[in-house]
Amino acid sequence: MSTAHSDHDHPAHLAHHFETSAQQMESGKLGMWVFLATEILMFGGLFCAYAVYRANNPDVFLFAHRALDTTWGAINTAVLLASSFTMAWGVRAAQLGQKKLLIGLLIATLFGGAGFMLIKTVEYKAKWDHALFVGPSNAYYHDNGTLADPGEAAHSSEYIEKHGDTDGGHGGHGDDHGAGHGDAHAAGHGDSHAGDHGGDHGAQADAPAPAASKIAAPAAPPTGLHADLLTHKRPVLGAGESLSTGIGAIQASHKGSHYPAFTELDPLNTNRTHIFFQIYFAMTGLHGLHVLIGLGLISWICYRAGGPMTRALLVPGLFVSVGIYFVFVWWLVSANSGWFPTTALVAAVLCLIAGALWGAKNVALTKPNPDADSEFSPGYYTPVDCVGLYWHLVDLIWIFLFPLLYLIH
């Protein structure tokens, strides 16, 4: 590593404390990997919370995960994998000095990440509409053993059970269900959930009453029940038995791959139903935050890799993109009342105008300059490589999140 430096001319990108470009690049990569290790450990905490709650409340996870949309989840996986591919290709382009291609691939990666966030918005919106959101905005929210709003929980349960049956990824399971759920099956098609929520609400209005009374039951059990709860419902988690036996046995009691309805949940676990959603939002929220950070980093790399025109258009372009995103959000929520749609629209208009004006100004003032060029060359592309590593890690975490959250069965 430390040979022949006296006659080595110092390239501009080589920091003063490194002897060779290779040493600098290897250091950068090592540092990036160490940082990625911290990211893995950080997500590890959430995976731990997930594992603990899933192991101890398998029926809750079987029930509640059906609120998630497997089709959108799978599409999002594909989108993120595609953006990962363009990023890996981009690193290759940087290594080979293909400057135009690098910029194109980075922009493609940006579109991939933005697409991921758009789909995530659609999914979050659906949860919000059905009172399955984070914190107390969740219909199953419990405090001191009491459901906040049993009626709302019944609505949400009906939505979850119906939605789970119609969702593309679980089509095969519809047959296993008892007679009570069969009628919901008829309306099934995997892709068009965002549109037809109004219909769901109408359906719920018909028969919430019996379900609601059942749900209220565990909230205020008769005093003598506690000993039963401890011994009766959880026979398999006794001392010495492994957890997998326990889960298997619980599953067996649910007759194969049958998904429990909310009323069939272990009464001990009903107050943890909302925890599934809290963990879902914690995991996907933190992941989404990392996607946003990744988008910022890729934009930064794109700026450094670009010539004068790319640099002139990149930041205004980001403003326009955010504006388009807010237009989309406005379109999603435009049926809702309250301050949110208006705010989204105002934000959208502001971003679009600012982006357009700024872009026009930059383009008008930018002169073609043959000297201004990409900072990266086959001899120096460490930032591209490191941002690529970060982006792949974001992808890698999603690779695990997708089956863990969407594909429980």
Partner 1 sequence: MSHDHAHDEHAPHAVPLGFLALIFGVLMVLTFVTVGVTKFDFGYSMNLVVAMAIALVKALLVGLYFMHLRWDAPINGFILVASLLFVTLFISFALLDTGAYAPTQAAAALRGSTP
Partner 2 sequence: MSVIPTNPSPPSAPGTDVVKAKKGLYGDEDNYITHGKGILSWLLTIDHKRIGLMYMVCVLAAFFIGGIFAIALRTELIWPGQTLMPWAEANTNWKLYNQLFSVHGAVMVFMFIIPAIPAILGNFALPIMLGAKDVAFPRLNLLSWYCYVGGSLFFLWILTGGVVGTLFGLENMPWYFPKGIDTGWTFYTPYSTDTNTGVILATMGVFVLGFASILTGVNFIATIHMLRPRNMGWDRLPLMLWSLYATSVIQILATPVLAITMLLLLAERVLGIGVFDPAKGGDPVLYQHFFWFYSHPAVYIMILPAMGVISEVISVFSRKHIFGYSFIAASSLAIALFGFIVWGHHMFTSGQSPLLNSVFSLLTMSVAVPSAVKVFNWLATMYNGKIRLDTPMIYALGFIWLFTIGGLTGLPLAALSTDIHYHDTYFVVAHFHYVMVGSTLFGFLAGMYYWWPKMTGKMYNEKAGQIWAWMVFAGFNLTFFIQFIAGSLGAPRRYADYDPRFWKYHFISTLGSYVLMIGLFGVLYNWVSSWRSGKKAPANPWGANTLEWHTPSPPPHANFEDGHEPEGVPPYDYDGWDYVSEEEGYVRKEGYVYQGH
For residue 18, the SS3 value is coil
Q: Which is nearer to partner 1, 116 or 326 (CB)?
A: 116
Which of partner 1, partner 2, none does residue 128 bind (CB under 5 to 8 Å by kind)?
A: none
**Which of partner 2, partner 1, none sits in contact with 302, Cβ below 5 to 8 A by type?**
none
What stretch of H or E contains 218?
helix 209-219
Distance CA 65, CA 366 (A): 52
- Residue 236 binding result from partner 2, partner 1, none, given CB thresholds of 5 to 8 Å by partner type: none
Closer residue to partner 2, CB minimum distance, 37 or 187: 37
Taking the least distance from each CB to partner 2, the nearer of 84 and 382 is: 382
Residue 15: contacted member of partner 1, partner 2, none (CB under 5 to 8 Å, by partner type) = partner 2
CB of 15 to partner 2, least distance (A): 8
Distance, in Å, from the CA atom of 405 to the CA atom of 131, rounded to the nearest integer, reads 18
Q: Which two tokens stand for residue 71?
A: 């089709």
Report whether 173 contacts 299 (CB < 8 A): no
Q: Which is nearer to partner 2, 2 or 337 (CB)?
A: 2
Residue 99 to residue 305: CA distance in whole angstroms = 7
CB of 211 to partner 2, least distance (A): 20
Long-range CB pairs of 118-124 (<8 Å, 24+ gap) are 118/325, 118/328, 119/72, 119/75, 119/76, 119/79, 120/76, 120/284, 120/288, 121/325, 121/328, 121/329, 121/332, 122/72, 122/194, 122/332, 123/68, 123/69, 123/72, 123/73
Q: Between residues 43 and 326, which has the closer beta carbon with respect to partner 1?
A: 43
Task: Determine how β-strand 146-147 pairs with β-strand 142-143.
Answer: antiparallel
Site for partner 2, rule CB under 8 A: 1-2, 15-18, 23, 26-27, 30-31, 34-35, 37-46, 48-49, 52-53, 134-136, 141-145, 271-275, 278-279, 281-282, 286
The site partner of 31 among partner 2, partner 1, none (C-beta below 5 to 8 Å per kind) is partner 2
Of 312 and 408, nearer to partner 1 (C-beta) is 408
Give which of partner 2, partner 1, none residue 70 binds (C-beta under 5 to 8 Å, depending on kind).
Answer: partner 1
